[in-house]
């Protein structure tokens, strides 16, 4: 087990500087264009693939970093560049985490490479969990998967929404109910291979922020997938369902389901994304405050501005520390006894919204225009308090964890 440290080692620093250079030289110059176009920035993703950032090998190296700091460090630097483009680059990672968290070794080896493609033919993947009537309330999920024993196939029907890369993905990971009576305990995750009949893109959403990232509905109409596409395998699923039914008969007990396992693993990473966006806005505001003059002196000489910047920097550093702690705990098998993963996501996402709003205020009228990037950063920051569990859900998870109440 790696000891917790707040100091990156030499190799991590080298990776951080490499990512920062890519974010500064490739992502940032393209940010405004792809925000306006509201399209997937395929050329930028391909550039990331060419240098090795958008690849299974890079993601695995960071994911299996013994300190736990590889992923949050990478997320912070990429999202410092631009949240929309960065999400297009890392969005496949949520589906990959779903397979890593719940799949067999064979499934991991088979499907994750197909999620990324290669530098000459990049692919993306989608994790499909939310539904029109089941976002935060995962127990209300209506997408059904029914096992056809004669053909050893699962038949999936339903509609997914808010899916990053939904419909344009090469591989979709779909969460479906296999036993509705068990609520969220009766869920399972399935791989939907490329070009599977019955899967189609529904509405593509025009969003307030992260507009370079594709978000859409996914329609599943009698989608048939082989039995081997059930993540973890049927034997493991049957055992888990049997335990859930037994516990339900005894009055109920918490049982982790596939979607929740994915979100638990990814929440600190989302916190790191928020830290990157907040840091970017803070740096713009700091530079502006040191050069913008009013009443014959730089505006940073005014306490009203200087104190805001002091608070912004303090909150960003505190958010990063919470993210790093949760990331270290996760990779070293430390249980989140106080919902530390949710803590990190909650504080970092709220910090990003606050800091980007303060940055606009410091820039004044200029901050409200698209000539400066802080208005885009503020629009982007709003998503962090919503996706992968709203701030209200994070508070619910934290409160129920520290009180010992079940999380349903």
User: Which residue do the tokens 């920035």 mark?
Assistant: 41
What own/partner pairs with CB < 8 Å and gap ≥ 24 does 107-112 have?
A: 107/191, 107/228, 107/231, 111/171, 111/191, 112/56
pLDDT number for residue 236: 93
pLDDT of residue 135: 62
Pair of tokens at residue 120: 């000459």
pLDDT digit string (tens) for 10-52? 999 999 999 999 999 999 999 999 999 999 999 999 999 999 9
E strand or H helix that includes residue 88? helix 83-90
* CA–CA distance, 337 with 401 (Å, rounded to integer): 7
In the chain, what is the greatest distance between 2 CA atoms, to the nearest angstrom? Answer: 82
CA distance 111 to 146: 22
Task: Using pLDDT thresholds of 50, 70 and 90, give the confidence band for residue 280.
Answer: very high
Q: What is the DSSP string of 166-196?
A: TTT-SEEEEEEES-GGGGGGGEEEEEE-TT-
Active site residue 47: no
Give residue-wise pLDDT tens across range 309-324: 999 999 999 999 999 9
Of 153-162, 207-216, 263-272, 360-369, the range with the lowest mean pLDDT is 263-272
**Residue 260's pLDDT is what?**
55
Residue 395 CB neighbours (<10 A): 15
Closest Cα to residue 338, out of 322, 316, 324, 320? 322
pLDDT at 259 over 60: no
Residue partners of 35: CB distance under 8 A and separation at least 6:
82, 84, 211, 212, 376
Q: How far apart are CA 283 and CA 280, in angstroms?
A: 5
Structure confidence at residue 63 (pLDDT): 85
Phi, psi of 123 (to 5 degrees): -125, 165
Q: Which domains does the chain have, with CATH numbers?
A: 10-121 (1.10.540.10), 125-249 (2.40.110.10), 258-403 (1.20.140.10)
3 state DSSP class of 24: helix
Return the minimum-mean-pLDDT range out of 157-171, 189-203, 323-337.
Answer: 323-337
Residue 103: φ, ψ to 5°: -90, 165
In terms of C-beta density within 10 A (0-12 exposed, 13-18 middle, 19 or more buried), how is residue 61 classed?
A: middle
Spatial CB neighbours of 109, under 8 Å, sequence gap ≥ 6: none
Q: Which tens digit of pLDDT belongs to each residue from 327-379?
A: 999 888 888 889 999 999 999 999 999 999 999 999 999 999 999 999 999 99
pLDDT averaged over the chain? 92
Q: Looking at per-residue confidence, does 244 or 178 come out higher?
A: 178
Residue 193: which residues within 8 A CB-CB, separation 6 or more?
171, 225, 229
> Number of helices (H) and strands (E), helices first, in the chain?
14, 11
The span from the CA of 87 to the CA of 196, in Å, is 25
SS3 111: helix
The pLDDT-based confidence of 399 (bands split at 50, 70, 90) is very high
The reported pLDDT for the residue numbered 358 is: 98
As a whole number of angstroms, the distance between CA 171 and CA 262 comes to 16
In 3D space, the residue among 243, 215, 222 whose CA is nearest the CA of residue 148 turns out to be 222
Confidence of residue 100 (pLDDT cuts 50, 70, 90): confident
List 76, 350, 388, 392, catalytic entry: 388
């Amino acid at each position: 087990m790696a000891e917790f440290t707040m100091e990156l080692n030499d190799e991590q620093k080298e990776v951080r500087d490499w990512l920062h250079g890519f974010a500064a030289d490739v992502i940032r110059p393209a940010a405004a264009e792809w925000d306006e176009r509201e399209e997937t920035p395929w050329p930028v993703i391909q550039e990331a693939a060419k240098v090795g950032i958008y690849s299974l090998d890079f993601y695995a190296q960071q994911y299996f970093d013994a300190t736990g700091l590889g992923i949050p460090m990478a997320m912070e630097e990429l999202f410092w560049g631009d949240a929309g483009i960065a999400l297009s680059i890392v969005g496949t990672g949520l589906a990959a985490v779903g397979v890593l968290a719940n799949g067999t070794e064979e499934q991991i080896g088979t499907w994750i490479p197909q999620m990324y493609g290669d530098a000459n033919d990049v692919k993306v993947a989608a994790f499909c969990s939310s539904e029109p009537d089941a976002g935060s309330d995962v127990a209300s999920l209506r997408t059904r998967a029914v096992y056809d024993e004669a053909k050893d196939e699962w038949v999936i029907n339903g509609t997914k929404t808010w899916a990053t890369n939904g419909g344009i993905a090469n591989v979709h990971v779909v969460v479906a109910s296999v036993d509705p009576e068990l609520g969220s305990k009766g869920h399972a995750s399935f791989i939907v291979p490329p070009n599977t009949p019955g899967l189609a893109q529904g509405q593509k959403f025009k969003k307030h922020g992260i507009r370079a990232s594709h978000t859409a509905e996914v329609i599943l109409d009698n989608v048939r997938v082989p039995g081997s596409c059930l993540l973890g395998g049927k034997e493991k699923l049957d055992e888990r369902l049997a335990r859930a039914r037994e516990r339900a008969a005894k009055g109920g007990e918490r049982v982790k389901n596939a979607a929740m396992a994915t979100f638990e693993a990814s929440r600190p990473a989302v916190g790191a994304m928020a830290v990157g966006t907040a840091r970017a806005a803070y740096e713009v505001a700091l530079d502006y405050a040191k050069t913008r003059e009013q009443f014959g002196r730089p505006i940073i000489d005014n306490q009203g501005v200087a104190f805001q910047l002091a608070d912004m920097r303090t909150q960003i550093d505190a958010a990063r520390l919470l993210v790093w702690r949760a990331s270290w705990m996760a990779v070293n098998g430390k249980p989140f006894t106080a919902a530390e993963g949710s803590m990190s996501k909650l504080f970092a996402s709220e910090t990003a919204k606050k800091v980007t709003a303060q940055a606009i205020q410091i820039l004044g009228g200029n901050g409200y225009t698209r000539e400066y990037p802080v208005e885009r950063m503020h629009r982007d920051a709003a998503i962090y308090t919503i996706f992968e569990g709203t701030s209200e859900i994070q508070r619910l998870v934290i409160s129920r964890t520290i009180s010992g109440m079940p999380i349903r």
